[in-house]
A and B are shown apart, each in its own frame.
Chain A
């Protein structure tokens, strides 16, 4: 069997994004999830208030 090693997440995710904000990849993923929750809340509010 051939193995292709996946780099350890702990090492990769602490690397810097090179952006002023968010600085780490973990922070970038949190930002993506946060924006998703924001849009979801907005869409639910639109659905409920205009039904």
Chain B
């Protein structure tokens, strides 16, 4: 990075922060800090909801996912349109009518105090852990750019996010998120434009698609009914609907964003905006990864994109085995390139049989290079257990730093930071709000004044920030950030959703039945997750179904016991 990159990075991030402070300078009451000004238009709500979900992980790890596995990951978002329509029809009117700070206040209105506490606790545990994973993403960027140790960049990023969120509150989060999204889109569109320009001369749009398709990178929809396959049409549509319904409908970090609308109409339109845009947006980000894959078929990629692993290979020249792997990898990649150039030449000449033979040879060489990479990865892990090769999170940042011009590098790093600030601020703000409203004011000090609550919320927000930093320091253990965030949500969301679905639709079930059913179902999900190898997208559905069924059975048993007791009395 040079002075131009730093100027773009610091200028854009500071500019947004100053704008947020200036716009919200006269709003310092509890309501504005927790729920915003109540005047937010639908477009700002829509961008705020999008920004809260789309953290730096989305823009850093998803292109890597596209590079390694193709477009299949888009299926996880198939549930978004259905889930958001359900929320618009059933969830939103209730939240607006009750004028709540948190979604869990509704659980007390409908059931009882302990069920509200359980809902809040489930949210705090899973979102607190998730917040750590998403702080890890910008730290990766800084480590790759500045070469600082990962723990230093994790702590620095965490502290910046804490200061930003504690000073701003919900209002500042919503006000600044639309500008953060503007920087993110500008950065991603610029990267895509430059990437397309870097593809080899003579490679047409049709050739690019054919090449990516030939390497199975365009398999976007998989109708397999195998429940062990992670991303299929069915797991995306059924499991994904439950996952997204839970996330958008019951996760306070999202609920807090859309209840800030000035009316039900604004909140609904903000959610429907996401229902329409989410799939094309994720498709485009994954496609960027696929284009990077095509680019690296004609350029020499490093043995590992993961900067720490790559540095180890470069610095340990005495390691003969790793050097041999590196040489073998480079030779295999050179063959891939040679064969693909032959394929392109034959294809344009109209010689189909020569083109097919060249492509087949390229695919074989590509497979060999991947095999060498896998073996080298094992060798590296055996030599240095601290190094776990995790290319998906590093592919895009590696491409940015190696291939893009100065100024654009600064813009893209600003985009990652904007994404981090946007999503982290929303999450920490929700964690602080939930801890204050559902735990502190509900269980500890019921008569706390608004001024005291505002002060306490700032402290809780900061504490959750420090907790997230602690989690991020261990985040290197996970296989891929974007998947880890979704897996974590999948484990908890099913039961959280069931609490709300039973509240809305099964009037017969009361507090005690749903409380014990939720605890049992959550325990069962933990056990199943540790024992089974099915796609994680099924867990929200399983957790939700089990909790609903258990609550009905328990309610019947409790009713029968009550009837029997009455019978004895009479």
> A-side interface residues toward B, CB under 8 Å?
1-4, 6-7, 9, 12-13, 15, 17-19, 25, 28-29, 31-33, 35-36, 39-40, 43-44, 46-47, 49-51
- A43 with B71, Cβ < 8 A, contacts A4-B110, A17-B265, A36-B279 known: yes
**Interface stretch of the complex, out of B175-183, B211-219, B337-345, B536-544:** B211-219
Contact B81 A2 (CB under 8 A): no
Taking A12-B89, A18-B265, A47-B71 as known contacts, 8 extra A-B pairs with beta carbons closer than 8 A to each other, sorted by chain A number, are A4-B106, A7-B93, A17-B265, A29-B89, A36-B279, A39-B283, A43-B71, A46-B209
Closest to B275 in A: A32
CA distance A33 to B220 in the complex (A): 19
Would you mind naming 15 contact pairs between A and B with Cβ atoms under 8 Å apart? Answer: A1-B507, A4-B110, A29-B88, A29-B272, A32-B85, A32-B272, A32-B276, A36-B275, A36-B279, A39-B280, A40-B221, A43-B74, A44-B220, A47-B220, A47-B221
Question: Is A50 a contact partner of B210 (Cβ separation < 8 A)?
Answer: yes
Please provide the chain B residues from 68 to 121 with a CB less than 8 Å away from any CB of chain A in the complex: 71, 74, 78, 81-82, 84-85, 88-90, 93-94, 97-98, 106, 109-111
State in angstroms the CA–CA spacing of A35 and B84 once bound together. 14
Q: Provide the residues of chain B in CB contact with A6, threshold 8 Å.
A: 90, 93-94, 504
Chain B nearest CB: distance from A30 CB in Å?
Answer: 10
Contacts of B283 in A (CB 8 A): 39, 43
CA distance A49 to B220 in the complex (A): 11
- Known: A6-B504, A47-B219, A50-B210. Contact between A31 and B88, CB under 8 A? no
Q: CA separation between A19 and B43, bound complex, in Å?
A: 13
The yes or no answer to B269 lying at the interface (CB within 8 A) is yes
Total residues of chain B contacting the partner, CB 8 A? 41
Distance (whole angstroms) from the CB of B507 to the closest CB of chain A: 7
Check A50 against B218 for contact (C-beta < 8 Å). Answer: yes
Main secondary structure of the interface of A (DSSP, over half): helix
A31, B210: Cβ atoms closer than 8 Å = no
B268 lies within 8 A of chain A by Cβ: yes
Asked whether, in the complex, the Cβ of A35 is within 8 Å of the Cβ of B81, the reply is: yes
> Do the beta carbons of B507 and A46 come within 8 Å of each other?
no
CB-based nearest A residue for B93: A7
Instruction: Decide: B276 and A46 in contact? CB cutoff 8 A.
Output: no
Contact A2 B279 (CB under 8 A): no
- Cα of A25 to Cα of B84 in the assembled complex, Å: 13
Contact A4 B221 (CB under 8 A): no
Is B35 interfacial (CB-CB < 8 Å)? Answer: no
- Give chain A residues whose Cβ lies under 8 Å from the Cβ of B269: 17, 19, 28
Q: Is the CB of A43 within 8 A of B221?
A: yes
Is B373 part of the contact surface with A, judged by Cβ < 8 Å? Answer: no
Cβ–Cβ < 8 Å partners of A25 in chain B: 88, 268
Do A35 and B276 have beta carbons less than 8 Å apart? Answer: yes
Q: Which residues of chain A have C-beta atoms less than 8 A from B503's C-beta? A: 4
Determine whether the beta carbon of B111 is less than 8 Å from that of A51: no
- A-B interface, 3 closest residue pairs, ranked by CB to CB distance from nearest: A50-B213, A43-B220, A36-B81
